[in-house]
Amino acid sequence: MVAHVLRLRLALLLGAFRGDPQKVTRGVVGGLLLLAATVAACWALLGVQESSTAAVAAITIFCGATLTLAFALAPIVAAVTDPLDPRRFRVFALAPDPLAGTLALAGLFSVPVLGLVALAVCAAVVWVAAGATVISAIIAAIIGVATCVLFARVALGVAGIIFGDRRSRELSGLLLVAVLVIVVPVGVFLASLDWRGTVPGPLQQVVDILSFTPIGAAWAFPLLFTRGDASGLLALIIALATVVALGFAWLALVRHFLSSIEKPLTTRERGGLGWFSVVPGTPGGAVAARSLVYWLRDRRYLVNTLVIPVAAVATVVPLLIAGVPANVAALVPILFVALFFGWLPHNDLAYDSTAIWMHVASGLRGLPDRVGRLVPILVIAIPVLAIGIPVSVALHGRWAIAPAIVGVCASLFFSGLGLSSIASAASPYPVTPPGESPFQQPQRTGSSGAVSQALVMLGALAVSAPSLWWTWLALTRTIEAASLALWVGFATGLGVLVVGVAIGAAVFTRRTGRIMEFAEAS
């Protein structure tokens, strides 16, 4: 059986070169890119041989752990269909345990894994050069590769169980954003570290922790052994335990797949639901999905978000001209971005125009309406802030200020959302009707629009005053105030959000008649 499956695996690999020319081109280009990346990485890795042992350890452990994590997460994010899915072997009545072994072995024969093997070999060479024994280096490389392959197998299986056929483009997009939210800040943090010849302190701490985690232990133990204490043995044990645990998990998955059949798919018809298949099937979830569709498809929302980069840039220039030091001015735009994100949905309801009758006639309660409408802005704003804050802090130059900035942004953003939830239910004002040019503004009578715009923005600033104050203290006097700003910021922001959504929900439920009259009038 082993030979059969391996031959099948090879045939599948070669099959990538057959068929639709476009697909083949894409595959070839992807493969070449991967090859180039591998060569570059190997070359860079072999280049660190001259560095100190500590630097070699730090680099190999960090990169190894990152790669392992990538192998574990990629199958979940990328929604790949596994050609060697154990479920496909269900009809052949094979014994599960040998099949699990065979499929794990066949998992070695894929283009990414070949790149990984090349990297592992280079790492082993570097370890030996840095003083590790040859035998430990070889064992580490083997364990490292095995860990990655098994992680990928198990992740594929688990993804299959969790998501089933519900994998949609939307879900993959969300997961990819989630990965970016983690990767970019880490990358910015690393890039901003001071590398002069030694391993920077913060990175050393991270590496020390990674060395004893399932994802980092395999890459850590050869050089830990050179220290002569028990840490090497501990890392080796963790690495071996990881492989064994993953092996058992894979075995259990294969057994599960071979001995069970999926429920007759009620999800078969879910195709074509887009965001609606990602959210929970509650009224609030449906409102969230509908809002997401509109945020991404309706140009009026897009034009609104344009205010954010403009505001970010426009606020820095005068500050710089006025002589504010550049490292302080670097922190200002992200605060405005957070403020404007919180302010954006303050008139959300008006964009529905008369279609809001659906919510009214269905007897939708206020809470699902309010919460659902906040989902798209959270999906958009949180990644932007998660990327923007580290970049700002890196430009500022002092990482100790980061907690304070996070706190102020949380306070501005969340309290803005809370106040917006009240404003959009209590006093919507006319906007461009659906389908018309977003740059064309409707006739507005009275000043209700300006009032609610100003109230939401000033209100968010007012409740954020405490965290702003402590951030200022952290900047000018004592850096200890930064953590205070963090907690105060989160507390006020989330507090105002909860209260605001509750009030907004009550207002919505109470005022449905008025809301319809507004929708008809505008």
Q: Which residues bind another protein (CB under 8 A)?
A: 266, 269-270, 272-274, 276, 281-283, 285-287, 289-290, 293-294, 297-298, 352-355, 357-365, 368, 434-435, 512-513, 516-517, 519
CB 174 to another protein: min, Å: 18
Q: Which residues of 377-414 are buried (b: 16+ CB within 10 A; e: fewer)?
A: bebbbebbbbbbbbbbbbbbeeeebbbbbbbbbbbbbb
Nearer to another protein, 90 or 270 (CB): 270
Nearer to another protein, 9 or 359 (CB): 359
CA distances from 97 to 3, 33, 82, 173, 209 (A): 16, 36, 19, 35, 34
Nearer to another protein, 220 or 288 (CB): 288
Nearer to another protein, 35 or 273 (CB): 273
CB 162 to another protein: min, Å: 17
Q: Could you tell me where the DSSP H helices lie in 397-447?
A: 402-426
Using left for φ > 0, alpha for ψ between -120 and 50, and beta otherwise, residue 446 falls in left
Nearer to another protein, 68 or 512 (CB): 512
Nearer to another protein, 35 or 296 (CB): 296
Q: Which residues of 131-158 are buried (b: 16+ CB within 10 A; e: fewer)?
A: ebeeebbbbbbebbbbbbbbbbbbbbbe
CB 293 to another protein: min, Å: 6
Distance of CA 239 to the CA centre of its chain: 27
Judge contact between 68 and 148, C-beta under 8 A. yes
Nearer to another protein, 286 or 337 (CB): 286
CB 361 to another protein: min, Å: 4
Q: Could you tell me where the DSSP H helices lie in 215-362?
A: 217-225, 231-259, 283-297, 299-305, 307-321, 326-329, 332-343, 357-361
**Amino acid sitting at position 127:** W
- Cα(337)–Cα(330) distance, integer angstroms: 13
Nearer to another protein, 190 or 516 (CB): 516
Judge contact between 519 and 358, C-beta under 8 A. no
CB 113 to another protein: min, Å: 38
Q: Please, what is the angle between helix 402-426 and helix 366-396, to 10°?
A: 150
Distance of CA 518 to the CA centre of its chain: 39
Nearer to another protein, 90 or 166 (CB): 166
Nearer to another protein, 434 or 466 (CB): 434
CB 271 to another protein: min, Å: 9
The torsion defined by the Cα of 247, 252, 256 and 257, in degrees rounded to 10, comes to: 0
CB 357 to another protein: min, Å: 5
CB 375 to another protein: min, Å: 14
Structure tokens at 438: 């977003």
CB 497 to another protein: min, Å: 21
- Location of structure tokens 């901003």: 192
Distance of CA 146 to the CA centre of its chain: 26
Nearer to another protein, 285 or 407 (CB): 285
Max alpha carbon distance in the chain (Å)?
A: 81
- Cα(43)–Cα(294) distance, integer angstroms: 47
CB 276 to another protein: min, Å: 5
Closest CA to 119 of 184, 41, 194, 56: 41
CB 76 to another protein: min, Å: 23
